[in-house]
Amino acid sequence: MIFRLAFASLGARALTVGMTVLAIALSVALFLGVEKVRTGAKASFSDTISGTDLIVGARSGSVQLLLYSVFRIGNATNNLTWESYRDISDRPEVDWSVPISLGDSHRQFRVMGTTPAFFERYKYRSGQSLSLGAGVIMDDLFDTVIGADVAATLGYDIGDPIVVAHGLASFTKHKDQPFRVSGILVKTGTPVDRTVIVSLEAIEAIHVDWQSGAQIPGQFTPADVLREMTLEPTAITAALIGVKSRLQVFGLQRAINEYPEEPLLAILPGVALQELWQIVGIAETALIGVSSMVVVTALIGMMATIFSSLNERRREMAIFRAMGARPRVILGLLVLEAVVMAALGASLGLLLLYIGLFIGQPLIDSAFGLWLPIEAPTIREVWVLLGVVAAGAIVSIVPAWRAYRMSLADGMMIRN
């Protein structure tokens, strides 16, 4: 009986109820959408580098080493000598190693020297490999592969020339040895998108005629001569290491941290990423707070809607009382209406979320490299939906109690 009355009453006020349900739906969709973006961003952040067991560099802090070796932020306090790198790479526990050399830049984008193994060994998003959207990997000393953001921002295409600047934010450029774009990587949502990648030998080649940060006056080595030279580096910035067995990771890490030839640091990327997320993850709390306030605002709006409708329904409530309706019937009717509106709003909000994900997922991935998986609601999201329904019932108690307290005489009185 009470269910039929509740649905009939909601149907009689279809426009007002519909607007209230829509407001709740939009707020729920926003809250869950922020939750999806938050978890997706955290997962993407954690998957910036995967499949690498250790990152090795000069002794500093774990977060600092992660920042300059993976995120290309800041500079190394010191370099890792090539002899030490080769010694570590030759250890029996090591399955593979990839050297990284940083220091130069191109129009505010970092230039990274490495080997072709980087394109095979660097993984992101739980093991996904780098792939070329156009062109090929470097096959000449002065070829370069650029990230998707570099190509999009600077408008580069295959075959375009690139002049590397010496150092960061430097006006001194290696104009005598320009590079050529040989490949453009597909967007990954990682710092690789903002990186100009060249060979380790190329980094040495462009500095052959340089000393103390400046070109030696009157000295110029032709490109053909450089191609014939043995360009082995004397030092690198960092190295990515993969071990043959995960059981050997901690033993190798300890051996590197206690390396007698020079002070080195080996870090576990996953652990360092968690440390870094604790620093930058305060925005996560802010997002949750803002979206929660949106939901609260919608629920308060629903309570205001119920309050505003009481004057129109005073006669209805008075008739129920006059017919012998018990207090719990009046209370239950208004609470049930609020629960139905909140449930409809929560369900519609969930539907809007999945429609938005279905439409926006490929666009967000291609534009920002942020992967938002379309999957069944998590336990946390289910609790959010149930919380919205419960909150709808709670906020309706005050207007429901007021409706019950309205006098029979006041409800039946005809006003001119």
Tokens describing residue 320: 């129920």
State yes or no: pLDDT of 160 exceeds 70.
yes
- Using alpha carbons, list the distances in angstroms from residue 67 to 73, 135, 266, 276, 294: 5, 29, 14, 9, 35
State yes or no: pLDDT of 147 exceeds 90.
yes
CA distance 302 to 335: 12
State yes or no: pLDDT of 173 exceeds 80.
yes
In 3-state terms the chain splits into helix, strand, coil percentages (rounded to 5) of 55, 15, 30
CA distance 306 to 310: 6
**Helices 62-69 + 269-280 axis angle, to 10:** 90
Helix (H) or strand (E) holding 326: none
Cβ atoms of 368 and 189 within 8 Å: the answer is yes
CA distance 76 to 69: 8
The amino acid at residue 351 is L
For 333-353, what is the mean pLDDT? 88
pLDDT band at 407, cuts 50/70/90?
Answer: very low
CA distance 272 to 86: 24
- Looking at residue 121, its pLDDT comes to 94
Instruction: Look at the block and give the residue holding tokens 């959207």.
Output: 133
Query: pLDDT of 244-265, one tens digit each?
Result: 998 999 999 999 999 999 999 9
What are φ and ψ of residue 63, in 5° steps?
Answer: -70, -40
Q: Which one, of 297, 277, 409, 273, lies nearest residue 345 by Cα?
A: 297
Tokens describing residue 277: 């997320």
Query: pLDDT of 45-84, one tens digit each?
Result: 778 888 899 999 999 889 999 999 999 888 888 999 999 9
1-38 residues labelled b (16+ CB within 10 A) or e (exposed): eeeebbeebbeeeeebbeebbbbbbbbbbbbbbbbbbb
Tokens describing residue 131: 């792939």
Q: How far is CA 233 from the centre of its chain?
A: 35
CA distance 294 to 28: 8
Cβ atoms of 382 and 28 within 8 Å: the answer is no
CA distance 8 to 395: 21
CA distance 382 to 389: 11
Q: Whole-angstrom distance between the N-terminal and C-terminal Cα of the chain?
A: 34
Query: pLDDT of 93-138, one tens digit each?
Result: 999 999 999 989 998 899 999 999 999 999 988 788 999 999 999 9
